[in-house]
Each structure stands twice: as structure tokens, then as C-alpha cells.
Homo-oligomer: A and B are copies of this chain.
Amino acid sequence: MQQASWIAVDWGTSNLRLWAIGPEGQVLAERSSADGMGGLEPDRFEPALLALAGDLLAPERKTDVLICGMAGARQGWVEAPYAAVPCAPAGGAPTPAPARDSRLSVRILPGLSQAGPADVMRGEETQIAGFLAGHPDFNGTLCLPGTHTKWVRVADGRITRFRTAMTGELFALLSTASVLRHSVSIEGFSEAAFLDGFDQAAASPLTLALDLFSIRPASLLADTAPEASRARLSGLLIGAELASVRDFWDGCPVVVIGTAALSQRYREGLHRLGAEAAISDHPALALEGLRAAHARFAKEKT
């Protein structure tokens, strides 16, 4: 295995993903594991990194490791303080993380914070930096759907404001841990039921808590299929979310950054509300953001 010039790491709550970068900027190796921040005590980060990437390190010198994401949270490897918006994404100074292995020089990028309304992100800012590296003139809104969906306003290369919706986490909790689990399948989907739920919630977002419960009686009284109930739950939550962030997408270019299926649902929903959205199909925007930050640090050093 060729030794890495430096290593780019996207360290989230559930997963650890890294890329070994060669002297020409080429990707020598891409690896991932389930050693997410959520399952690690602070002193277990270095062993998790070495287990996944130890053989990529040169024996006689320090290798730069640049990390974004939840590894910089208070419960992570070391807390990397937030940079406050408005600011460039991934533009703040990184925080060194303690490492015993003499081959490691580890730094963690800051997350972003917003004072009012109070909000935070860790990791998405680096994806956004990666997107802006490829689209430096983009002015508009980025939507990053997921466990905690981020809506981010970008202007002149800076993030001006953002909000977080708990849509993905609510979907997971309601479909697996609430009374709705008896009515909702683990897999499967019905486009028609998704759109029906979406339209209802987008038109009447105020009654979301009532309409969510209705999934249960609909299956008890009308034998609604579990796959349709699952899609309806997704539609209700995304419809209510889009209604709550109208100021982000109304009259503004939108790009959705996320997995294909989920991005498609958000684009479809925005389209039904009269907004057009593009989908970014780049497979690793975090890597591009880490590259941009690493290049900047190298330049600052010289």
C-alpha cells in the first residue's frame, strides 16, 4: 500500500469514512467503518483511526490527518469550537487533537453556530465547502436532508444563516418506536401515499401532530398497507418541513445535497410547491471540502 501524503476524514455520529490522499492529490484508498462518534469514548478515537488507516501512515514522519464532523463535538475526540455565521464554510482554524502515535498529526475542523435562532452544524459545513469549491459563484439555498436536515443560505461564498429540522430523526423514531410502528413497514414505499401525505401537510402543516396519529386508525379502520403508511409518514413530515422553511426556498435557487432517494423526495416536494431544485450528485462533497481546507492551511503555512 502506497503511503498517504495526508488523510481526509469525515467522522460522523454513526460512521467513520476516510480517504488517503497521494502526493498528486489522487485518492489512494477510501475506507469506512461503523466506529462513529456516538459509540466512542474520547480515548478510543485514535485506536479507531489507526485500526482503519494505520497501514497508510509513513513510518518515519508525521502524516496530516484532517477531520470534519462529530469527532469535534463536546463528546468527541476533542472539542473543536464553533465558528459563528456569517462566515465561509470550513474557513475557521482547526483544533489539534491529542495523539500518542508519533506518526499522527491530527486536526479537527470547527462546526458552525448561529446565535439567533440558536442552531449548530458539524460536518455539513465541509460538504458545503466542497460544493462551493465546484460552484464558487453559487448564491441561493442548499438543502442537506438527513437525520437533521440542514437548510443553508449561501451568498458570496459565505453561509449567512441556517436552520435545522429534525425530520429524519422524527421519521426514524415514529416509524420504529411509537404506536405507529404497528402500522408502518420497515421498508417499501408508495409514491402515491407519499404525495398524498405531502400535499396534506404542506396545505395544513398546523395539524401535523394530529395527522401523524391518523396513520394508526387508517390502518386499523381501512387496512392501509404498511408500505403506504410508511410513505405517508414521510410525506407528512417533509410537507410540514417545507412549509416551515418557505423563506429558504421561495424565490431562490435550491440545490439538494443528499442520498439519491431522499433528495428526489425533497425535489418532488419543492416542485409541487412551485419551486425548482437541482440535485447535487457528487459522491463525496466532504472530501472536496477537506481538500479545500487542507490546501488553505498549506498555503497559510508557507
CB within 8 Å of B: which residues of A? 74-75, 82, 113-115, 117-120, 148, 163-167, 169-170, 173-174, 177-179, 182, 205-214, 216-218, 220-222, 237, 240-241, 243-245
A240-B209 in contact given A173-B173, A217-B118, A221-B115 (Cβ < 8 Å)? yes
A245 vs chain B, min Cβ distance (A): 7
Are the CB atoms of A206 and B243 closer together than 8 Å?
yes
From B166, B209, B216, contact of A241 by CB (8 A): B209
Given contacts A206-B205, A244-B209, contact A221 B167 (CB under 8 A): no
CB distance A209 to B173 under 8 Å?
no
B82 touches A165 (CB 8 A): no
Q: Given A115-B221, A165-B213, A208-B240, 5 other A-B contacts at CB below 8 A?
A: A75-B182, A118-B218, A166-B209, A167-B209, A205-B206
Can you list 28 pairs linking A and B with CB atoms under 8 Å apart?
A74-B220, A113-B217, A113-B221, A115-B221, A117-B214, A118-B214, A118-B218, A118-B222, A119-B213, A119-B214, A119-B217, A120-B217, A163-B210, A164-B210, A164-B213, A164-B214, A165-B213, A166-B178, A169-B178, A170-B209, A177-B177, A206-B244, A208-B208, A208-B240, A209-B237, A209-B240, A209-B241, A210-B244
Write out the residue numbers on chain B whose beta carbons fall within 8 Å of the beta carbon of A177. Answer: 173, 177
Residues of B within 8 A of A113 (CB): 217, 220-221
Q: In this complex, which of A75, A177, A210, A221 has the most chain B Cβ atoms within 10 angstroms of its Cβ?
A: A210
Complex interface: chain B residues within 8 A of A210 (CB): 117, 163-165, 244-245
Nearest 4 CB-CB pairings of A with B: A118-B217, A120-B217, A164-B213, A165-B209
Q: Chain B residue with minimal CB distance to A214?
A: B118
From the candidates B120, B164, B179, name the one contacting A220 in the complex (CB within 8 A): B120
Complex: chain B residue closest to A240, CB-CB: B209
CB of A141, distance to nearest CB on chain B (Å): 15
Which residue in chain B gives the minimum CB-CB distance to A211? Answer: B117
Residues of B within 8 A of A170 (CB): 178, 209
Q: How far is the CB of A149 from chain B (nearest CB, A)?
A: 9
Closest to A82 in B: B221
